[in-house]
Amino acid sequence: MNDAKERLPGHIAIIMDGNGTWAKKRGLPRNFGHRKGVQTLINTVKYCQQIGIEYLTVFAFSTENWSRPKEEVDYLMKLPEQFLESYRQTMRDNGVKLRVIGRKDNLGEKLLQKIIEVERETMNNSNINFTIAFNYGGKDEILNATKHIAMALKEDKIKLNDINEKLFYDYLYTKDLPVVDLLIRTSNQIRISNFLLWQIAYSELYFTDVLWPDFRRRDLDKAIDEYKNRNRRFGGLK
C-alpha cells in the first residue's frame, strides 16, 4: 500500500446511535442503553489514544433531542455530569484534552461548572483531543457564526473582503480543531443528522449496522481500514 492508504485519519467524528434500540432488544429501559453507551465511549477514547488518533469528536446530544420524552431528556442531562466526574482523573492522568461544544445557554448550572472545571484541568494535555458535541446542532452553529461575523462587521472589526472560509471557520465552535477526516455513524442510520455540517464537507463517511453499545475496537478498525483504502480527491483528480 502507498503512504496515503496507510495514513490514519487525523480527526474522527462519531454519531453514537443505537443506545435505545440496544436496550429495547433486551427488554430494558432506554436509559440502560445510554449508560452502556458511556462505557463504549470511554473504551473508544482509550483505543483511539493507543493507535494514535489525534482528534476524536462525538455527538452526544443534539439541539433536536429536547423533543424526546422528558424522563429520557432529564437522564441525558445528568449523564454527562456523571461521566465528567467519574472520568476526569483518567483524562488528567492519560493526557486527554477535553472540549465540550454546543449551546450552553440552556444547560444546568452544575453541568456547566463541571464542564468548565474539566476543560480547565485538561487544557494542557496533548495525547488526544477529545470533543463532546452536547446540545449541538450544525445549522445552529453556522447561524451563530454568521451572527457573530455580522456583529464584527457592524462594529468595524472586520471588512467585508476579510470574510473567507478561514475566517468563517474561526467563528465556529470547532475553531481549534481540524476538519473531520472520517465520520462514523452506528446503528445502520444513513444520514448526518445536523452534525458538523461545515466540518464534514470532504469527510469520508462510514456507516455500520452495529449498535453503539456493541461498538468495539474491531469495528473501529474496520472503519479505519475502509478509510485507508479510499481515494480522497477533494474535488480534484489524483
Q: What's the pLDDT at 25?
A: 96
19 touches 30 (CB < 8 A): yes
DSSP string, the chain: --HHHHPPPSEEEEE---HHHHHHHTT--HHHHHHHHHHHHHHHHHHHHHHT--EEEEEEEETTGGGS-HHHHHHHHHHHHHHHHHHHHHHHHTTEEEEEES--TTS-HHHHHHHHHHHHHHTT--SEEEEEEEEE-HHHHHHHHHHHHHHHHHTTSS-GGG-SHHHHHTTSTTTTSPPPSEEEE-TT--S-TTSSTTTTTT-EEEE--S-GGG--HHHHHHHHHHHHTS---TTS--
Least Cα distance to 181 among 219, 148, 230 occurs for 230
Say what the pLDDT of residue 7 is: 85
Q: Which three cell numbers stand for residue 62?
A: 443534539
Which of 2, 3, 19, 65 is an active site residue? 65
Asked if CATH classification 3.20.20.450 holds for the domain at 6-137+179-228, the reply, yes or no, is no
> What percent of the chain is modeled with pLDDT above 70?
95
pLDDT tens column, 173-203? 999 999 999 999 999 999 999 999 999 999 9
Q: Is the pLDDT of residue 238 over 70?
A: no
Domain boundaries, the chain: 6-137+179-228
67 forms beta bridges with none
CA-nearest of 203, 199, 194, 65 to 138 is 194
Q: Establish whether 219 is a catalytic residue.
A: no
Mean pLDDT across 220-234: 90
pLDDT at residue number 236: 64
Q: Which whole number is the average pLDDT over 77-103?
A: 93
Contact (CB, 8 A) for 128 and 45: yes
Rounded mean pLDDT, 207-221: 98
- Count CB neighbours of 56 within 10 A: 22
Residue 43 to residues 38, 75, 86, 90, 151, Cα–Cα distance (Å): 9, 21, 14, 12, 42
What mean pLDDT is predicted for residues 13-32? Answer: 95
Query: Looking at residue 235, what is its pLDDT?
Result: 66
What pLDDT does residue 1 have? 41
* Residue of 17, 31, 129, 135 marked catalytic: 17
Q: What is the pTM of this model?
A: 0.92
116-174: pLDDT as tens digits: 999 999 999 999 999 999 999 999 999 999 999 999 999 999 999 999 999 999 999 99
Among this protein's residues, is 225 annotated catalytic?
A: no
